[in-house]
Amino acid sequence: MRTAIYPGTFDPVTNGHLDILNRATELFDGVTIAIAADSNKTPLFTLGERMELLSNATKDMPNVRVSVFEGLTVEFARKCGAVAIIRGLRALSDFEYEFQLALMNKKIASDIETIFLMTQSEFSFISSSTIKWAASLHAGVSDFVPAYVEKALFSKYSGSRTDLNSED
């Protein structure tokens, strides 16, 4: 069994994340989604909510499991018996940060590889922050997140939805 972890904040999970995850499951026997409990971001969704949204998104993917971790990503990878860390690259602007992270991880744990998957062009401009921003202003985000994530976003912001594609 060759497995990988896919770490991130996932606040919330997007179709971009799911695209990377889908492709990672083709490369590995199993993939563990690793939700960072102590990311330096201030998340909108609690850990429990992010876990629930991700579990829902992956319920038909038998070789995926969802976990929460604290501390170093590479240590969590080791604990899972994973040989690789999956990261998505959207644009050149992601590269510098991801390169630093990958080199630091390699320095700490030389046996664990970071594998970068290029995002599909249709998701290359989205991030969880831009999606939250749009949803907070009541814009529909159904092109970018699963329906239940959009619903969770709207209920967090508890506003009424404006469908940008609507004629009226």
Residues lying near ligand COA in the complex (CB under 6 A) are found at 7-9, 11, 14, 16-17, 20, 36, 39, 41, 72-73, 88, 90, 101, 104-105, 119, 123, 126-129
Q: Which residue has the tokens 């992956």?
A: 58
Q: Is 90 a catalytic residue?
A: yes
Is the Cβ of residue 20 or residue 135 nearer to ligand COA in the bound state? 20
Residue among 30 and 141 whose Cβ is closer to ligand COA:
141
Contacts of 120 (CB under 8 A, 6+ apart): 16, 19
Whether 17 sits among the annotated catalytic residues: the reply is yes
Minimum gap (Å) between residue 47 Cβ and ligand COA: 13
CB atoms within 10 A of CB 10: 24
Question: Do 135 and 149 contact (CB within 8 A), yes or no?
Answer: no
- Residue 55 a catalytic site member: no
Q: Is 128 a catalytic residue?
A: yes
Least spacing, CB of residue 14 vs ligand COA, in Å: 5
Please identify, using beta-carbon distances, which residue of 30 and 126 lies nearer to ligand COA. 126
Are 31 and 21 contacting, i.e. CB atoms less than 8 angstroms apart? yes
* Residue showing tokens 């602007």: 93
**Cβ–Cβ under 8 Å, residues 103 and 134:** no
Q: Closer to ligand COA at the Cβ: 16 or 30?
A: 16
d(CA 147, CA 144): 9
Query: Which of the following is catalytic: 2, 39, 41, 151?
Result: 41
